Structure 1
């Protein structure tokens, strides 16, 4: 068994998102005269049982969870057991991405616990299902559902072949989160706020490889606010979590736009209705992008640009314009040139083959010191 510390590499044969950037883009690969001081990336630790002898694979996986859980293999007749994880050290929190084959689990009674751990695990299943039995209740979970398990309480259960995200929260993280998690432990968050927290965890997983130590205090503060807002959703807690909630809502709104991009009914009301917010809230969300309709037009123009640049797509420019919501060819040409600085026919002729990066007006207009945060928000799209 071998555990290694890496900042930006993923373990082999994992379906998790790619971690890191090519070496040529890393500051270490730059010539000395071009180097700039950058904060170190957040430390991550990877482990996989791949490559071990079959007789050792589950034992190694078992040992990684030994301080908190007793694991039992359900099917030991398979030719291989799969288990892999990436752990992110967030200082006062630990974030994990885990892939595992089916197994049974039992929490450890206090008198046999290997370590004095009394944390909560907030788990989001991305695939698979699990069941948990406790003294008070039995509950099961599936993809998209957030569950809360306390390692200081007795419970047992089983899990199928699964991929999951886990956030480990110590009891001394804050008094407020301890109260909130205690009231919700051994259950799943089935409310709309629970769904928001699910999206938040996925967003954290996607952005962690890009963050540095300088980003850590803000990430921890946002996570604390989201726990309070989603587990114990009082008015005050929701107000404190306004910024991360806005990020989650914006990501949802973008997905709605992309799903209905070719729908002629796509507009403010459709997005507002599917997102479940007021018109004022929706306008505030899209204000940095010039408004809802401007964002919709921008996405449609990007789609049209891709089609025009495709050498295998021989449709008339007007037909592509109509598919992307423009019934008037002249208006399409004017909007296209305003957005990209050249005409649709120039793209079709091969003069502008590459799809341009989205022009985020807030990035152009904001102060230089604020551009990093704008770029990070844009990575959600």
Structure 2
């Protein structure tokens, strides 16, 4: 059998390095663009853009992204519009080694201090106002966490205090994952991704504050049930407020209250349909499937309406996206410099998980 060292190709962890030098307006604009799938970002003020500096190094490990970074003070907002434009369906965990932020979760404010780990659901709104900081962020697909967490909605805005022993264990795992990422081969990446998801679910669930859980469990469980029903029936053109009310036995008023923080139930359904369509279009196993068939699988009965909504949300037509996603594999120019900003954007959309690169042993 051929020894591992002589293999010609392998799945790279796709190391990406980005940086913004103070006073470089072009790099600042690229930075903002690279982050656009997850946040609308800006410096603390218009004047502060001229002195803004930031950088990160990250790895994509079988759809799990681990990032070590730093930044000048900034403002980050994930609005209903940002969510609608992106196909990001992930949970993020961030820990600051220096600095901190004020976090606003759908009207609830909290202070994040060095050492705290905070969770954000990228399908829901949030806003951060951060001071100068250094941080590590772990981003996991909801689908990877779902088998381990009974109620994923309870994680949004959750904070594990820095003094917690379980926090220390999770932060240590994040640092170790980042350190070992360059050495992981394909099986190791998938094993690390699954193990990380299980560990996150176990430690986060074990640290839930009882009083907070009791006060939120009824609403959260109801919202989670609705979201699961929506994801299970996206293919059905009849899916809508009346459909959900009849299937789940809830009033229209209650349904609207549940989805108000997510931009409304109809918008949420449209967002999930377009998110699923995006993932099917970029999936190489569906490369031969007609766009009209994909549209129907996602609940669209009119291909023109689907194409228009897809372009509005993702900035390209389904056909154009398919061409881009099946183009040549990443080369070195896409892993550093200006190209890295585009790569980060694609990472967060989930379209680079299967890229094969030549090994640089």
Q: Which has the higher contact order (CA 8 A, sep 6+)?
A: 2
TM-score, with normalisation over the residues of structure 2?
A: 0.50
TM-score by length of 1: 0.47
Higher helix share: 2
Larger radius of gyration: 1
